[in-house]
Chains A and B, each alone.
Chain A
Amino acid sequence: MAVTVYLPAMLRPHAGGADALTIFTPVFTLADVIIALDRKVPGLAAQLEDAVYNFAVNDEMLLHGVQAHPVRDGDRVEIVPAISGG
């Protein structure tokens, strides 16, 4: 099992500068991914509670139902800051 999670620049300092983290433990949903991330980088889950962070799985943005969204072996998860613009 390997799920790769890509971090935006603003979160990389929390992960020792890494731009991606790979999770090898079994995960089934994005909620599991967040728990696994927090094990690798304590405190990261709290950071991800910030409303600025959205998730994309395999290049598809998730706009709702995030926690329960299924994750499979080989998936690419990306944390995407979402703000407005003008």
Chain B
Amino acid sequence: MPIRDRVARLVAELPKEPQFPTQGRTLFVDLARRQTESAYTPRRIVETLLSGRGANMFYLYRLLDESLHPLHPDIPLIFGSGVLTGLVPSAARGNCTSWSPETGVILDSNVGDYFPSFLRMNGIDHLVLYGECPEWTLMLIREGRIEWHAAAPYVGLDNIDMRTRVQRDFGGVWARDMSMANITRAGENLVLTAGIMGGPKAIYARGAPGAKMGALKLKAIVTLGATKEFATAMPYKPYNREIAQKLLGTSVVKHALSVTGTPFLYKPSRLLGAMGTKNNQETTWTDGLDADHIDPYRPGMEGCFRCPVNCRPLNELTQDPGDRYGRGDGPEYVTLGKFGPNIGIERIEPVIRLNNICNDLGFDTASMGSAIAWAMELFQRGLITTADTGGLALNWGDAELVEGLLFMTAGREGFGNVLADSTRAVENGHYPAEALRYRMAVKGLMQSDPHDARILKAFALGLAVATRGMDHLRNRVTLEINAKINDDPAFKERLYGGPVSAAPNSYVDKERAVRACENMFAVGDSVGMCRFTTKLFNSPSLPGLEEFSAQIANVTGLSLSPSELDRIGLNVMGVERMINHRLGVRRKDDTLPDRWFDEPNPSGKYKGEHIDRAEFDALLSRFYSISNLTDEGVPVDSWRRELEATLAPSA
């Protein structure tokens, strides 16, 4: 059934009025015909999945035609903001969702900065885009109304120039009354490491959303309009103040996030011998990249819409205004890891510079850094040679080479065309099949996290079962590296709803911790809360289900208890697994790269540690069992039928 028919059938079922205070519209946009329809997410869906990531999955479930391919214009690209996005401190986030051209499984990526909040200020909770624009197009949302603009003047622009030109042409002020989700040249060229930029650094990164948007010939979505006050069900600002105090009073925010940002994690990772190095051939690296080496280059911190934390470190390498990449935003820990140890760079300055280039070129630094590291290992092993690379010697630590590769990738030039295919380089005939043995990816997605998870079994399980592929932001039990929590079994039991072994390298009960995190984080994404300030990711004392429950009631009037929210988190995972099942995902795909099974960790206190296949398989079975999943990793029949009846009651 063509997408227009699917949309028409769905819209006919949807309410035409808001279902609760503060709810915004879902706008269905036919890009080919420049036509829009609007409706509202049904209350039963919000009570099952919330909005943001959760309701995005409802729309994808209903509109996906898996007989097509991910870049087909009938496969929708869906933006959604959370139930609390734009209203609650640190809830500034939203997701974009589709079928990933990089991975072949769900694409679901999250961003902060201002765009998700400003979409809501324009009265829009979800934006469902489909069809190919007749020409390169910029979609402007002004005070809730859509205007179409030819994007020809912007084609070929990367993020820095794009932001300058769009602000000049449309007259708004970033972060005050203007926001944008845009692609760069990489997205235009369907590069599979291309994200959708949501700010100077903020990016819908994972799964190649930039390529998907490029395939629709949509260069940018710009919002214009003043921020507004929402008419909530009950007063919510007093409780906002409590949440803000809780955020700012939490030590990890006060001492680390607000001061330095996420690069703090580099040091404990390398000391542990868990720092992915040279495509995870090694697991520790120089102290020259510890966070304190960034201090001299950090002029200040930035933040997202109405977030009091301000955890984004700015950087300034030079005061020379002519040096385009001499200053910027970041790096986060992921970028530090992927463009430091993972490609063999030892000094902080080139890492910062490469970070700034990636922000301009619109790259998912996790996939981009991993694709380069993979290529370097293949070159090291002789699986590819200069005959394959256009004469380039892909040597570890060559920052100048990497800089050139980034620009070549954005333009799909020379060997950049190979890197632009990311995890699909073997499938597309660039590398021999043996190269897959060294690809650090699960479900076709390069690992997001610089951690080498051979030691931490909970991390490993999380990376294996994450629905969008190998990504820590879906379920990582970060507090496994927190010794005080490990040494307090009673507290740890309360935290995860049952006992979890204190030993990081034990498999015992780790499924319980991953389940708890996966539920919490799915709810966080669906209310719009930042992961860094969500309970269980950085701290046991940050806002979690209790706070979300209270503020959802204040804002929307919906009564969802913490345990009901926990169930919603499970539902989001369940629907994602149902969609993935339609895309061919099975138990065999909830696995890890061969290296972690077959090669022992080469350094540190846990030297020799690896993932035991039989232990892992048993851990996965226990995870499926407590997650109410079948042996193939999909919801058991009774739950599946229940979800199907909710998602498509007329089917």
Contact = CB atoms under 8 A, between A and B. Distances in A.
B66 interface: no
A54 B334 CA distance: 21
Given A10-B255, A84-B538, A59 B271 contact: yes
A31 to B, nearest CB: 11
Nearest to B481: A82
A82 B482 contact: yes
A61 B473 contact: no
Contact of A51 (B264, B267, B272, B482): B482
Which residue of B255, B485, B604 has the most chain A CB atoms within 10 A of its CB atom? B255
B480 A83 contact: no
Nearest to B451: A85
Nearest to A10: B255
A37 interface: no
A50 B472 CA distance: 24
B265 A83 contact: yes
B532 A84 contact: yes
B605 A60 contact: yes
A84 B268 contact: no
A86 B473 contact: yes
A86 B332 contact: yes
A64 B458 CA distance: 15
A60 to B, nearest CB: 4
A52 B486 contact: no
A52 B476 contact: no
B503 interface: yes
B503 A64 contact: yes
Given A59-B271, A63-B483, A64-B502, A81 B256 contact: yes
Interface in A38-86: 49-56, 59-67, 78, 80-86
A50 B487 CA distance: 13
Task: Give the size range of B's interface with the partner.
Answer: 35 or more
Contacts of B271: 56, 59-61, 78, 80
Interface string B487-498: 100000000000
A83 B486 contact: no
A9 B292 CA distance: 8
B561 interface: no
Interface of A: 9-10, 49-56, 59-67, 78, 80-86
A63 B272 contact: yes
A8 to B, nearest CB: 8
A81 B264 contact: yes
Contacts of B483: 54-55, 62-66
B503 A83 contact: no
Contact residues of A: prevailing secondary structure:
loop
B414 to A, nearest CB: 32
A81 B334 CA distance: 17
Contacts of A52: 251-252, 255-256, 539
A81 B478 CA distance: 13
B210 interface: no
A84 B476 contact: yes
A64 B618 CA distance: 24
B257 interface: yes
B531 A83 contact: no
Closest 4 pairs between A and B when the two form their complex, measured CB to CB: A85-B333, A85-B262, A64-B486, A84-B478
B503 A80 contact: no
A80 B268 contact: yes
B259 interface: yes
B635 interface: no
B326 interface: no
A9 B532 CA distance: 21
Contacts of A55: 483
Which residue of A10, A59, A80, A84 has the most chain B CB atoms within 10 A of its CB atom? A84
B6 interface: no
Nearest to A9: B292
B15 to A, nearest CB: 35
Given A55-B483, A63-B480, A86-B334, A80 B256 contact: no
B140 to A, nearest CB: 30
Interface in B243-278: 251-252, 255-257, 259, 262-265, 267-268, 271-272
A54 B262 contact: no
Contacts of B257: 83
12 contacts: A51-B539, A53-B484, A56-B268, A63-B483, A63-B503, A64-B487, A67-B487, A78-B271, A83-B264, A83-B265, A83-B478, A84-B478
B173 to A, nearest CB: 27
B593 interface: no
A60 B295 CA distance: 24
A78 B261 CA distance: 20
Nearest to B257: A83
Contact of B481 (A54, A59, A60): A54
A63 B332 contact: no
A84 B295 CA distance: 18
B557 interface: no
A78 B531 CA distance: 28
A82 B479 CA distance: 9
B504 A63 contact: yes
A77 to B, nearest CB: 12
A51 B484 contact: yes
Nearest to B537: A84
B532 A64 contact: no
Contacts of A64: 483, 486-487, 502-504
A55 B334 CA distance: 23
Nearest to A30: B483
B540 interface: yes
A66 B272 CA distance: 14
Nearest to A69: B483
B265 A84 contact: yes
A49 B486 CA distance: 14
